[in-house]
Amino acid sequence: MNKRKKATIHDIASKLGITASTVSRALNNHPRISDATKKLVTKAAKDINYQPNNIAAALRNGKSRLIGIIVPTVNRNFFSSVVRGIEEIANQLNYKVIISQSYENFEQEVQIVDTLLSARVDGIIMSISKNTENFEHLDRVKEKNIPLVLFDRITDSVEVNQVVIDDYMGAYKTVEHLIANGYKRIAHFTNPRKINIYSERMRGYIDALKAHGMEYDQNLVIESNMQLEDGQQCVKTMLDQGLEFDAIFSSSDYAAMGALQALKERGIAIPAQVGLAGFGNEPFTSFTTPSLTSVDQVSIPMGNVAAELFFELLKADPKKYVPQKTVLKPDLIIRESSTRTPSKPNSTPNSK
């Protein structure tokens, strides 16, 4: 009998000869309920294996205590770490998280937004897909006054809270480091889709070159989809075309990894002949030979900040709240792939 129907507060109530409202208040520790009945109620609840129905509460309250998270994929250290950072804060406040993956697919992303809105999440924290160029779905979220926070992959076409790292500075520091290690012709791998992160990194690359009196050569900027295979292919093409370069700064660790493999395959010594640096500090970067210099995106703190902004927004009056943009400082993690004996620049020909 109690197999099919789940226990409700009404069951508890009739068992104790009181009303459901009293049970509800008792369970919620309402001050106007005596300790005696509170004890009775909690005991009865345990006895009949009562499980609160959050659906009912959510319907009545208009809030579900759920945060929707949308990421391109969870199968990337960066994203899963941000999620963890969000969860840390959310769990403390007794909020739960629904994670959804867009798989870099725009239609999917739009669909997920609708699903989350229908699921009546209290808000959304997301990083947009690479292929998203239309932001009406985000507008719809804003129109409904649902709190929205963007991180890492952001857009300025919607006024919302944003958390990013200083991609510009990350790139700048990396290139500066390469220059300090004596590299003269630094190539740059980037993505043709000019979402914020890639364009910022490219700005940093260019400015760092200029700041050190090096010319910016368009031929050294190689566009691709930035996956492992792309990195391999780019290097091969560069070598086959006789392009002169002695370092690569890749906006993606995966492409950097591909570059590393291709260079090794062609017998080019890293870091002696060619220096290499990636972006993202994926865990495998410390496993490669040589280990890969990369930029750490402080993912957990980013998740923390995103969640904090979210809750700020949740409490605020949407009319007078002005969206904020938080910029975190990335860390350059220097490893073997870019470290040459301090002042032995020009040690490798190739460029000359």
Which residues are within 8 A (CB) of 43 and not within 5 positions of it... i.e. 6 or more apart? none
Minimum CB distance to DNA smaller for 63 or for 264: 63
Residues contributing to the site for a copy of itself (CB under 8 A): 3-4, 6, 49, 51-56, 58-59, 64, 66, 73-75, 77, 80-81, 83-84, 87, 96-101, 114-115, 117-120, 140, 143-145, 257, 261, 264, 283-284, 287-289
| Pick from 301, 304, 295, 283: nearest CA to 330 | 295
Extract the tokens encoding 228.
């492992």
CB atoms within 10 A of CB 338: 28
Give 268's strand partners.
none
Binding flag, residue 115, DNA (CB under 7 A): no
Minimum CB distance to DNA smaller for 30 or for 194: 30
Integer Cα distance of 91 and 86 in angstroms: 9
What binding mask, one character per residue, do residues 29-68 give for DNA by CB under 7 A, x or -?
-x-xxx-xx------------x-xx--xx-xxxx------
Minimum CB distance to a copy of itself smaller for 47 or for 156: 47
The region of 19-27, 178-186, 289-297, 344-352 touching DNA under the rule CB under 7 A is 19-27
Binding flag, residue 27, DNA (CB under 7 A): yes
Alpha-helical (H) ranges within 17-132 are 20-27, 35-47, 54-61, 77-92, 106-118
Extract the tokens encoding 318.
């949407």
Cα–Cα–Cα angle for 254, 226, 307, rounded to 5 degrees: 75
Minimum CB distance to a copy of itself smaller for 24 or for 220: 24
Question: Cβ 150 to a copy of itself, closest distance in Å?
Answer: 20
Which residues are within 8 A (CB) of 246 and not within 5 positions of it... i.e. 6 or more apart? 183, 184, 185, 186, 273, 274, 275, 348, 350, 351
Question: Cβ 216 to a copy of itself, closest distance in Å?
Answer: 31
Binding flag, residue 100, DNA (CB under 7 A): no
Integer Cα distance of 63 and 117 in angstroms: 12
C-beta separation of 332 from 295 below 8 A: yes
Signed CA dihedral, 185, 189, 193, 197: sign only: negative
Amino acid at 317: D
Binding flag, residue 314, DNA (CB under 7 A): no
Q: Which residue among 15, 18, 327, 351 contacts DNA (CB under 7 A)?
A: 18
Binding flag, residue 24, DNA (CB under 7 A): yes
Binding flag, residue 6, DNA (CB under 7 A): yes
Question: Cβ 118 to DNA, closest distance in Å?
Answer: 9
Integer Cα distance of 265 and 124 in angstroms: 45
Minimum CB distance to a copy of itself smaller for 176 or for 336: 336
Q: Which does 304 bind (CB under 5 to 8 A by kind): DNA, a copy of itself, none?
A: none
Q: Which does 283 bind (CB under 5 to 8 A by kind): DNA, a copy of itself, none?
A: a copy of itself
Binding flag, residue 8, DNA (CB under 7 A): yes
Burial per residue of 139-157, b for 16 or more beta-carbon CB atoms within 10 angstroms, e otherwise: eebbeeebbbbbbbbbeee
Give 186's strand partners.
247
Q: Which residue among 1, 2, 14, 22 contacts DNA (CB under 7 A)?
A: 22
Question: Cβ 221 to a copy of itself, closest distance in Å?
Answer: 25
Q: Which does 341 bind (CB under 5 to 8 A by kind): DNA, a copy of itself, none?
A: none
- How many angstroms separate the first and last alpha carbons of the chain? 86
Question: Cβ 262 to DNA, closest distance in Å?
Answer: 55
Q: Which does 9 bind (CB under 5 to 8 A by kind): a copy of itself, DNA, none?
A: DNA
Integer Cα distance of 239 and 255 in angstroms: 16
Task: Decide: residue 345, CB within 10 A, 0-12 exposed, 13-18 middle, 19+ buried.
Answer: middle
Residues that bind DNA (CB under 7 A): 5-10, 17-22, 24-25, 27-28, 30, 32-34, 36-37, 50, 52-53, 56-57, 59-62
